[in-house]
Amino acid sequence: MAKPNKKQPSKTVNIYCAKCRFHLFKYRKGGKGALIKCFKERIVEDFTQTPCICPGCESEFARDTLVRGTPAYKFIGGKVTMK
């Protein structure tokens, strides 16, 4: 399986909880597709205390997993939004 690109994308997006609008991550996203997963190495700023749990509403928004051998968060459908 192919690894994610070593060169980090330059475009950053803000990821928010869809329920309470809490700012979860500042993330370097590549491409223009939907937000399905989030590689941990591309997170610029992390505003959560517990992984995959929103500090604002205490709901689970993602699952901790390995994608192509790299640690990542796989988002649960409809739990996060990005701008």
> Is the sign of the CA dihedral 35, 23, 40, 62 positive or negative?
negative
* Cα–Cα dist 17/29, whole Å: 17
Q: What is the pLDDT of residue 19?
A: 94
Domain boundaries, the chain: 12-82
Beginning with the edge strand found earlier in the chain, give each strand of the sheet holding 23-28 in spatial order: 43-46, 23-28, 12-17, 80-82
**The predicted structure's pLDDT at residue 81:** 96
pLDDT at 1 over 90: no
- Average pLDDT of the segment spanning 24-29: 95
The model's pTM is 0.87
pLDDT digits (tens, 9 = 90+) for 36-74: 999 999 999 999 999 999 999 999 999 999 999 999 999
Q: Say yes or no to pLDDT of 5 above 90.
A: no
Residue 56 CB coordination number (10 Å): 16
Provide the 10 A C-beta neighbour count for residue 65: 12
